[in-house]
Amino acid sequence: MSSSSDFQQDRHSFSGSPQKWTDFELPGDTLYYRFTSDMSNTEWGYKFTVTAGHLGRFQTGFEILKQMLSEERVIPHLPLAKIWEWQVGVACRQTGHQRLKAIHLLLKIVQSSSQGDCDLTLLKPLWQLFTHMENNSCHDTAKPGILLPLHRALAELFFVTENRVTELGSLQEYLLALNTEDHLHRCTAQ
């Protein structure tokens, strides 16, 4: 079982008696599985139960962190740089509502951080996702002006982040760090 169709991400393999199976969680909203028989037995196979959307570690962690980031007196005592790094990683790996929640926390961190708290260059993969969505929405004439929740969340994150780095006087470094050399060449050519 895996969270990716190529069975490379979050892979869990089981074989043998049911006692060898353990519970596990997969990120995202899709499960891929492959059943392969070695034909050595006449049993019918395996049975497993998938439970979606339960209040697990992700939701619990999200609620705790959201509350902590909402308390101004707590923020100075948090390791914001480390939390930032973790949340960027979560936002890059997760999908669906979990990705939106991670982006929500990133937005809270940007709004409450001071200069140097967050390595904004870590946002590069999310910036690439956002620019890809921007390019595709410009070409989608069937639904003009309608943005998907992820697109809206990323737009807000990058709008607030850009304003924040402008206030801190590091806009040029930030923009150079997010863009690829190829993108900069295309912009220069335009």
Q: Which 3 state secondary structure label does DSSP give 2?
A: strand
Would you say residue 33 lies in a domain? no
CA distance 96 to 92: 11
Task: Please state, in angstroms and rounded to a whole number, the distance separating the CA atoms of residues 169 and 149.
Answer: 30
Identify whether 37 is part of a domain: no
Is 88 part of a structural domain of the chain?
yes
Q: Residue 186: inside a domain, yes or no? A: no
39 occurs within a structural domain: no
Nearest Cα to Cα of residue 153 among 133, 167, 136: 133
What pLDDT, on the 0 to 100 scale, is given for residue 107?
93
State the burial class of residue 167 (Cβ atoms within 10 Å of its Cβ: 0-12, 13-18, 19+): exposed
Give me the domain span that covers residue 133: 55-179
- In a domain, residue 46? The reply is no
Residue 52 has pLDDT above 70, yes or no: no
Residue the block writes with tokens 């930030």: 174
How many domains does the structure of the chain reveal? 1
pLDDT one-digit tens code per residue, 155-187: 999 999 988 888 888 888 888 878 777 776 776
Contact indicator for 95, 58 with CB cutoff of 8 Å: no
> Are 173 and 119 in contact, with CB atoms under 8 Å apart?
no
Give the pLDDT band of residue 35 (cuts 50, 70, 90). Answer: confident
44 has pLDDT over 80: no
The answer to whether residue 102 scores a pLDDT higher than 90 is yes
**Residue 93 domain-assigned (yes or no):** yes
**Is a pLDDT exceeding 60 seen at residue 40?**
yes
pLDDT digits (tens, 9 = 90+) for 115-126: 667 888 899 999
For residues 90-112, average pLDDT:
90
Is the pLDDT score of 16 beyond 90? no
| Whether pLDDT at 147 is above 70 | no
Task: Kindly state whether residue 36 falls inside one of the protein's structural domains.
Answer: no
Q: For the residues 122-134, what does the mean pLDDT come to?
A: 89
- pLDDT, averaged across the chain: 82
